[in-house]
Structure 1
Amino acid sequence: MQIRDFRPIDAARLGEIFHLAVQATPEAEYSAAQRNVWSAAPIPADRYLARVTAGAHRVFVGVDAQDDPQGFIELQPDGHIDCFYRDPRHRASGIGQQLYDHLEAHARSAGLTRLHVEASDAAQRFFLRQGFAALRLRRFDRHGVEMHHMLMEKHLR
């Protein structure tokens, strides 16, 4: 697996990965209604591309030997990790760890002193292993469905 910068041609595949990953979330963590309001369908390529180019995101993409994206992670200039998803068909590949390690190394080299994220239940476990602290649970409504995530942060020294 190799990590590289996002290319506009990746947009459709990343929208698909996002949707597949959300829909693969276990029922014990998020109900079908929650998963469907989070991602009812893959994000269209033009919408994904507009979102990441408008926000000055750095998007790192994990690709296989054929340069096919298998996962991605997004970093905003203030240290916010916006999206972090991998194709659920590649669960034990180590791509999540590789993507995170690449992002943290980039953040450190860019002089960031703090990373922060709104983590799903499953992502919380990953971020705790990376040294993040859980700050508080945030509940919110999305189209009439109650959602939640954990606000987390890590100070970089």
Structure 2
Amino acid sequence: MIRIRLYEPADAPHLADLYARSVRHFGPRAYTPAQVEAWAGRADVERMAARCADGRLVLIAEDEAGARLGYGDLEPDGHLDFLYAAPEAEGMGVGTALYRALETEARRRGITRIYVEASELARPLFERHGFTLTGRNDFAIDAVPIHNFSMEKRLIR
């Protein structure tokens, strides 16, 4: 069973590690080795702690034993910046559980639009949850070209 809970400051090192492991495990399915390493290289405990303390909602998915299986966030304006599952949680529905909890909270807060920049890997999950594609973003991380997709979902009250 997956349990969803609020972020705590002690989670930051675990989330930075989960982020890097997730990108390195799932990334090669859609991105080159150079892209994967540039993306995974952004994992940093201090950066993670600062982002998680900046006013956004951060939810943690964990198992019965308290192992962190994934995390997701929602900024006050409806931007969903992170949604990552641990490699060992593949196929367990962690991304869906986190997304549903984030959407429920967005509705509770009166947010009428959730928007994301989804990777090739996350795009299908967001499409299954009713997001529409609004554009492709081509950019670079440490001079390595990479892309993602702008997507949004309008929430009906």
TM-score (norm 2): 0.94
Q: Displacement, 1:37?
A: 0.7
3-state SS of the aligned residue for 1:112? coil
8 Å Cα contact 1:19/1:43 also seen in 2: no
Poorly superposed stretches of 4+, deviation over 3 Å? none
In structure 2, distance between residues paired with 1:88 and 1:124: 18
3-state SS of the aligned residue for 1:85? strand
Cα RMSD between the aligned structures?
1.3
Q: Displacement, 1:26?
A: 4.5
Q: Which runs of 5+ in 2 are unaligned?
A: none
3-state SS of the aligned residue for 2:41? coil
8 Å Cα contact 1:19/1:40 also seen in 2: yes
In structure 1, distance between residues paired with 2:47 and 2:67: 20
Who is 1:147 aligned against?
Answer: 146
In structure 2, distance between residues paired with 1:2 and 1:87: 14
8 Å Cα contact 1:57/1:75 also seen in 2: yes
Who is 2:49 aligned against?
Answer: 49
8 Å Cα contact 2:117/2:148 also seen in 1: yes
Structural mapping, 1:1-157, within 5 Å: 1-40=2-41, 42-44=43-45, 46-54=46-54, 56-157=55-156
In structure 2, relative to structure 1, the CA distance for the partners of 1:15 and 1:138 (3 Å cut) is same
Q: Displacement, 1:47?
A: 2.7
3-state SS of the aligned residue for 1:121? coil
3-state SS of the aligned residue for 2:26? coil
In structure 2, relative to structure 1, the CA distance for the partners of 1:89 and 1:114 (3 Å cut) is same
3-state SS of the aligned residue for 2:90? helix
In structure 1, distance between residues paired with 2:29 and 2:63: 31
Number of residue pairs matched?
155
| Percent identity over paired residues | 34
In structure 2, relative to structure 1, the CA distance for the partners of 1:115 and 1:41 (3 Å cut) is closer
Equivalent residue letter for 1:47? R
In structure 2, relative to structure 1, the CA distance for the partners of 1:28 and 1:90 (3 Å cut) is closer
Q: Displacement, 1:135?
A: 0.6
Q: Which runs of 5+ in 1 are unaligned?
A: none
In structure 1, distance between residues paired with 2:136 and 2:22: 21
8 Å Cα contact 2:26/2:87 also seen in 1: no
In structure 2, distance between residues paired with 1:141 and 1:47: 19
